[in-house]
Structure formats: structure tokens, C-alpha cells
Amino acid sequence: MRVKRRIYRDCAEVKYDVFDYIELFYNAKRRHGDHGNLSPMDYEGNYF
């Protein structure tokens, strides 16, 4: 996969893209084999 570079005009665009990634792309419920098949939220809850 090739990542396209992006030049941001201001901080608002950066904040929007970061929020978009966290809320839409990152899956907090997906299970991870490295963490005993726990979701990131469950693993973090057990850690703390």
C-alpha cells in the first residue's frame, strides 16, 4: 500500500484527520492475538 503525502494548511485540518482516523478507522473492539485475544479496551481495562 502506498501512502500519499499530504500538506496541511492549518492545525484544524490536522485535528480533523486525526479525529477521523481515531473514530472511523481504528477499531477499538477488534481482538488482538498478542494480548490474549482481548480488545484494546478490555486489555487496557485489565492493565489498569
* pLDDT value for 5: 85
Domain that holds residue 40: 11-47
What's the start-to-end Cα distance of the chain, in Å? Answer: 35
Tell me, yes or no, whether 30 lies in a domain: yes
> Which residues is 32 bridged to in the sheet?
38
Q: What confidence score (pLDDT) does residue 16 get?
A: 92
**Residue 1 maps to a domain:** no
The whole-number pLDDT of residue 31 equals 66
Residue 6 covered by a domain? no
Query: pLDDT at position 8, please?
Result: 93
- If one counts the domains in the chain, the total is 1
pLDDT tens by residue, 1-48 = 576 788 999 999 999 999 988 887 776 666 667 777 877 778 888 877
pLDDT at 11: 95
Would 41 be classed as within a structural domain?
A: yes
Task: Write the DSSP string, 8-39.
Answer: -SSHHHHHHHHHHIIIII--TT--BGGGTTB-
Residue 26, domain member (yes or no)? yes
